[in-house]
Amino acid sequence: MAAFYDSRIGFDQCILLVVMSIFCCVCVHGSDPPLTLDYYKEKCPNVLEIVRNEMECAVLSDPRNAALILRLHFHDCFVQGCDGSVLLDDTITLQGEKNAPNNKNSLKGFRTIDRIKNILESECPGIVSCADILTVAARDAVVLVGGPFWEVPLGRKDSKTAGYELSNTNLPTADDGLLSIISKFIYQGLSVTDMVALSGAHTIGLARCVNFRERIYGDFPITSAMNSASETYLKNLKSICPPGIGEDNKESAMDYVTPNLFDNSYYQVLLRGEGLLNSDQELYSSILGVETKKIVQKYAENPIAFFEQFSESMVKLGNITNPETYVDGEVRKNCRFANT
């Protein structure tokens, strides 16, 4: 089943659908997005190799780049579906998503996508969508830091618009409670299991002080055992992130044990009550999280189970589409701007 960001259809589209279904017996609505594994096989046979090579360079030069690209893809898909909307710059007529509060001073990695797009435009101009580039790049990012591999269905279109307001409402935040986070995933057609597995992305990458200050001056000592190791960790976090205001953009790893490795150590950190973000620790410690707690325990014990579910859930994440984009979408020439 596809998750529809907006499943209403207008009268004119309805007539069109009736006419279409009379002639070709196709019900566009409610069907899975038309994504296929061999979408570029004829039109751009080297696409996967090119993305992979560029991602290799990017991650080799700085493993943080893997985290940046993975998060970009997530923030793309939760706003209007996976349509490259997150990549659009502000213009006079378009308010992009980059400056929405959840993204500002936080989302990065755009130049990596630009570089890949440039190469693909010279290799096969006008063929590969920015949304597909981002989806494949996110998969490669995970593989390159030690995570699982999965096949990526392709054929997404790029949007001509962005969703500034939707960025504010759809994206989960560090201080969201567990139920709020669950409902934001359900809204996208993703289950509680998908949510817990996809949160495992926080096994790589950094968060800023502004997003974990309340947690470290709040209930961190309560959720963690406060043995000498976690006391040292907390002291270190407090030195990075002072109380009150200031140093909002100072960063710390969400998985402090293996910050550059895609493994299941994030869940083990949660078992010890040492999750950096409030939203992370809630998966294990919330009184409302009976189900999520069990899943966290499972992935902490069983890295294979985590990898398998993460792969499947990433395909589901990448499948989120706005059906209108298939009718109205395009393949952008420059990922930062809709074609004129």
Ligand X SMILES: *[C@@H]1O[C@H](CO)[C@@H](O)[C@H](O)[C@H]1NC(C)=O
Taking the least distance from each CB to ligand HEM, the nearer of 44 and 190 is 190
Near ligand X by CB under 6 A, which window of 13-21, 54-62, 220-228, 309-317? 309-317
Binding-site member from 114, 308, 312, 330 for ligand X (CB under 6 A): 312
Q: Which does 32 bind (CB under 5 to 8 A by kind): ligand HEM, ligand X, none?
A: ligand X
To the query of whether residue 73 is one of the catalytic residues in this protein, the response is no
- Give me the least distance between CB of 325 and ligand X, in Å please: 14
Distance of CA 292 to the CA centre of its chain: 19
Taking the least distance from each CB to ligand X, the nearer of 210 and 315 is 315
* Residue 280 neighbours by CB under 8 Å, 6+ apart: 199, 202, 254, 266, 270
Q: Which does 279 bind (CB under 5 to 8 A by kind): ligand X, ligand HEM, none?
A: ligand HEM
Residues lying near ligand HEM in the complex (CB under 6 A) are found at 64, 67-68, 70-71, 74, 106, 172-174, 176, 181, 195, 198-199, 201-202, 204-208, 211, 277, 279
User: Binding of ligand X at residue 151 (CB under 6 A)?
Assistant: no
Residue 175 known to bind ligand = no
Of 75, 139, 208, 332, the catalytic one is 75
- Give me the least distance between CB of 188 and ligand HEM, in Å please: 10
Taking the least distance from each CB to ligand HEM, the nearer of 120 and 277 is 277
The 10 Å CB-count burial string (b at 16+, else e) for 78-112 is bbbbbbbbbbbeeeeeebbbbebebbeebbbbbeb
Taking the least distance from each CB to ligand X, the nearer of 224 and 313 is 313
Helix axes 178-187, 192-199, angle to 10 degrees: 110
Residue 202 known to bind ligand = yes
Active site amino acids: 75
Residues binding ligand X (CB under 6 A):
32-33, 35, 153, 312, 315-316, 319
